[in-house]
């Protein structure tokens, strides 16, 4: 996915070319550092099953598992590693862990970038408009996991109904889903045979329960912004700390990413600064908690997403 979705006059060709260079070293450092921390938190979970210290370790471990999607997302853009096959196979491993098959994710995500905030064609808007209840269910992960698992099973049975998925690629989605189901079944069979709960303890339980941590990032990027084609109006960046930027592979610079999705994660901070300087103003930004407060104020008194005009901002920093 190397299309450009913003005005080319914002950056010179040479500048953009320099920014778009992926790096095996930077990609490897990011990937290995996250896996290293996961191995440390996983080791601690095994050592402290009956200790109160297990609770924060469990939370960090589960959050980091979910944040692997930021890596899968970047791998789907082919921007993490200069070596192409590393993007492919690391992305497939992450997709398996996250119940989010890589090929499906890539195609859906292309639709999201090409048609951001277009209710008919944006793959990430294939949902009913939020009410306060449905937003809460999505934030906690209840409906998130249900839709992911249901889709894999449906695809495995050969049923692909999403309008943004081209019919010519349906066999790929079906084949991919069947491999996933076979892999999950194999893990389940081995776990039962070995009387082992490791898959639940180190993978399923922390990832499922801590989904809300990643939903903070997922929901802030576009919700409450105008449904128009201008990425500097329809995409929001996030103000947060360096640790969370590392965990989310710098995706908090989300407006910059949508403007030029071919720029690797490790150059997004530079790109964000350049775009802000060239445009003379920063992109829409909010903090995680400021955004959540604004959402629940917007949904007060029974209001829903359908009550707000599509062409206006209804979740803003000063709300």
pLDDT (tens digit per residue) in 60-85: 999 999 999 999 999 999 999 999 99
pLDDT on residue 9:
73
Give pairs for 81-90: CB < 8 Å, separation 24+: 81/22, 81/23, 81/24, 81/27, 81/28, 82/21, 82/22, 82/23, 82/24, 82/27, 83/24, 86/24, 86/27, 90/31
Q: Rounded to an integer, what distance in angstroms lies between the CA atom of residue 235 and that of residue 290?
A: 16
Tell me the domain boundaries of the chain.
Answer: 8-307
pLDDT on residue 53:
85
Asked if 94 contacts 34 with a C-beta cutoff of 8 angstroms, the reply is no
Mean pLDDT of 181-206: 97
| 99 Rama class: left (phi>0) / alpha (psi -120 to 50) / beta | left
Q: Closest Cα to residue 235, out of 193, 272, 184?
A: 272
Q: Closest Cα to residue 68, out of 24, 32, 108?
A: 32
Question: The whole model's pTM is what?
Answer: 0.94
| Mean pLDDT score of the chain | 94
pLDDT on residue 48:
84
Q: Rounded to an integer, what distance in angstroms lies between the CA atom of residue 249 and that of residue 243?
A: 10
pLDDT at 55 over 80: yes
Tell me the HSE value of 170 on the side-chain side, using a 13 A CA sphere. 13
Question: What proportion of the chain, given as a percentage, has pLDDT over 70?
Answer: 97
Give the pLDDT band of residue 6 (cuts 50, 70, 90).
Answer: low
pLDDT digits (tens, 9 = 90+) for 124-140: 998 999 999 999 999 99
Give the pLDDT band of residue 224 (cuts 50, 70, 90).
Answer: very high
Q: Closest Cα to residue 66, out of 43, 98, 89, 90?
A: 98
- What H or E segment, with its residue span, contains residue 43? helix 24-47
DSSP 252-293: T-HHHHHH-TTS-GGGHHHHHHHHHHHHTSPPPEE-HHHHHH
pLDDT digits (tens, 9 = 90+) for 81-104: 999 999 999 999 999 999 999 999
Tell me the HSE value of 61 on the side-chain side, using a 13 A CA sphere. 22
pLDDT digits (tens, 9 = 90+) for 229-241: 999 999 999 999 9
- What H or E segment, with its residue span, contains residue 44? helix 24-47
Q: Rounded to an integer, what distance in angstroms lies between the CA atom of residue 123 and that of residue 114?
A: 10
Q: Closest Cα to residue 295, out of 180, 218, 185, 227?
A: 218
pLDDT on residue 2:
47
pLDDT on residue 8:
66
Mean pLDDT of 215-237: 96
pLDDT at 1 over 60: no
pLDDT at 215 over 60: yes
Residue 38 sits at the vertex; the CA angle it makes with 60 and 193, to the nearest 5 degrees, is 105
Q: Rounded to an integer, what distance in angstroms lies between the CA atom of residue 295 and that of residue 114?
A: 26
pLDDT at 10 over 90: no
Q: Rounded to an integer, what distance in angstroms lies between the CA atom of residue 251 and that of residue 245?
A: 7
The single-letter DSSP state of residue 128 is P
pLDDT at 49 over 80: no
């Amino acid at each position: 996915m190397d299309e450009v979705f913003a005005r080319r006059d914002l950056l010179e060709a040479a500048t953009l070319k320099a920014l778009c260079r992926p790096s095996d070293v930077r990609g490897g450092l990011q990937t290995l550092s996250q896996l290293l921390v996961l191995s440390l938190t996983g080791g601690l979970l095994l050592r402290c099953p009956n200790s109160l210290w297990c609770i924060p370790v469990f939370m960090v471990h589960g959050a980091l598992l979910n944040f692997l999607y930021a890596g899968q997302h970047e791998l789907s853009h082919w921007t993490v590693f200069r070596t192409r096959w590393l993007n492919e196979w690391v992305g497939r491993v992450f997709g398996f862990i996250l119940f989010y098959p890589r090929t499906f994710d890539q195609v859906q995500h292309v639709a999201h970038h090409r048609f951001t905030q277009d209710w008919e064609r944006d793959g990430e808007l294939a949902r009913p408009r939020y009410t306060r209840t449905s937003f809460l269910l999505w934030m906690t992960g209840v409906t998130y996991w249900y839709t992911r698992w249901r889709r894999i099973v449906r695809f495995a049975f050969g049923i692909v109904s999403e309008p943004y998925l081209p019919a010519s690629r349906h066999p790929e989605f079906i084949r991919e889903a069947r491999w996933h189901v076979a892999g999950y079944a194999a893990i389940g069979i081995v776990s039962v045979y070995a009387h082992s709960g490791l898959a639940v303890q180190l993978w399923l339980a922390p990832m499922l329960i801590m989904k809300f941590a990643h939903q903070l990032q997922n929901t802030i990027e576009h919700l409450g912004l105008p449904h128009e084609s201008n990425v500097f109006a329809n995409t929001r960046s996030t103000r947060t700390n360096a640790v969370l930027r590392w965990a989310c592979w710098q995706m908090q610079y989300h407006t910059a990413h949508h403007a030029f999705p071919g720029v690797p994660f490790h150059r997004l901070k530079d790109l964000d600064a350049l775009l802000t300087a060239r445009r003379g103003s920063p992109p829409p930004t909010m903090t995680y908690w400021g955004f959540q407060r604004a959402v629940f104020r917007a949904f007060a008194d029974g209001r829903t997403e359908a009550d707000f005009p599509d062409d206006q901002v209804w979740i803003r920093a000063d709300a």
